[in-house]
């Protein structure tokens, strides 16, 4: 499954979607489906906040190459 290469898709995620995927152990789903996700600085700050799911914080603190920060 995934998006055909002829149709580029830009995925911009908010923290609700990321936290939900973290809670069910599927954070890698967006990368598998779309290759890269884009998050704003605000979403990044929420993702690394002490109250965020541990798996989400770990992922964003590790700076994966499939996540890109964009300005809002």
Task: Give the pLDDT of residue 72.
Answer: 65
Rounded CA separation 70/7 (Å)? 21
What does the pLDDT read at residue 24?
A: 93
Q: Where are the beta strands (DSSP E) in the chain?
A: 37-40, 67-70
Q: Beta strand 67-70 with 37-40: parallel, antiparallel or unpaired? A: parallel
Q: Mean pLDDT throughout 40-49?
A: 89
For residue 6, the model assigns a pLDDT of 63
The pTM of this model reads: 0.69
Give pLDDT tens digits for 54-72: 988 988 888 778 777 777 6
Residue-wise pLDDT for 3-42, tens only, equals: 555 666 777 778 888 888 888 989 888 888 888 888 888 8
């Amino acid at each position: 499954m995934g998006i055909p290469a002829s149709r580029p898709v830009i995925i911009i995620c908010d923290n609700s979607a990321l936290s939900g995927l973290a809670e069910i152990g599927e954070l890698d789903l967006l990368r598998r489906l779309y290759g890269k996700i884009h998050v704003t600085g605000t979403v990044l700050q929420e993702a690394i906040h002490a109250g965020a799911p541990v798996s989400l914080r770990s992922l964003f603190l590790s700076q994966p190459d499939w996540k890109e920060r964009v300005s809002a």
